[in-house]
Amino acid sequence: MKITSSLTLLALSLSLLGEVGSAVAGAEDSPKNKKHEKDRLPGAVPVVRAIEYSSLQKAIEAVPKEGGKVKLPPGQFEISKPLVVRQQEIRIEGAGGSTEIKNTNRNGKPSLLIQPPSGQDEKNPEPQWRVQLSHFRITGNDKSGPGIVAEGVNEIFIHNLMVNRHGDDGILLDHCYENPRVTDSSMTYNNGTGLHLKGCHDIVVNGNQFEENQDALRCIDGFNLCMTGNNLDDHLGNGVIIENTYGSVVSGNMIEECNGMAVIMDRDCYGNTIASNVIAHNGGGIDLRDAHGCAISANTFTIMKQDALRVGPKSARLTITGNNFSDSYIGNGKLKRNKGDRAAKGMTLESTKNLTVSGNVFSGVHPKAIELKGDPSRQILFSDNALIDTKSDHNRLTNSVIDNILQIPSKESN
């Protein structure tokens, strides 16, 4: 009797342990966590796991209109037409670079298209709200369209995405008016602009990598761009292009080796600041084509092939202070760059007026620290600047104040 009772007790214990283990193992995968429907958290929406669907599009469509989350597994997923997102309050999240959406379309179609919900008035659609994309990679080809196109999405948040090798823009945010945010992402090798912002407002672009797109970033017809802490390298065209945009800051960025200009401001820009950037070895530096009421300060311009800073005839009322314009001098009469790579330009003023140019250093820039073009530039406060191993046209400024200028010829500068 004792032996039989012990065996029965042992069998019962093993059975109970098996049930507990099974429940624990299946808890994460079960949308109900083995609970009855009435025991679920009120308001909760189950996560859509794309691995359980026959296509990514079907997984996205499984999210209810109220919103939810799509979890993408690792793997390479080929698409021949755009993935379309029409829900709001939705987050699509992958497993990092191991989750790759590969666009095989060669007819100019985007990889991911975010549009207002179907059934809306297409001429006057209501905006979508709070679409989030994170932790996956989107790859195109030379004939595909943009990587991501978002139309009229408020508070769109793009984080930890890799968007590369598309035949057009990497990311196009088209009138995503309220608070678009692109952070910690990589936009590389796209044939268009890495990040194209059209008609956006209160924009944050922070901590991203831009590599070898045509242009890195375009902000057109916008407001309040905050572009900080980004790395821009090797672009086939220009770095940052800002048009008809006010109240913006471009600060703390590294902009190197763009074939064109590092930064362009054009078409009625006003009230912007470009500060504390390293602008190195580009085709040109900052081109102020049509800018007013802007500050250009504390930037480092080094070995610029063309104008390190140009102020055009449509620009005026600018403050240009505390910048350093330099060649590759490293002390003791030595230059770091080889003889064929020593071009270092200074500032060009072309038929402009009403500027403060003060507290800058111009060293080893040629042919001149300040070069004047076009009609005489006038009403310039040119003071407290240091000109080392360079010539300058600043004495030709008209109706201007020129004061406290330190000029050191090359033979005395080492």
Estimate to the nearest angstrom the gap between the alpha carbon of 110 and the chain centroid: 19
Tens of pLDDT, residue by residue over 150-176, are 999 999 999 999 999 999 999 999 999
Instruction: Say if pTM beats, i.e. exceeds, 0.75.
Output: yes
Taking 70 as the threshold, does the pLDDT of residue 369 lie above it? yes
pLDDT confidence of residue 128: 87
Tens of pLDDT, residue by residue over 255-288, are 999 999 999 999 999 999 999 999 999 999 999 9
pLDDT band at 339 (very low <50, low <70, confident <90, very high): confident
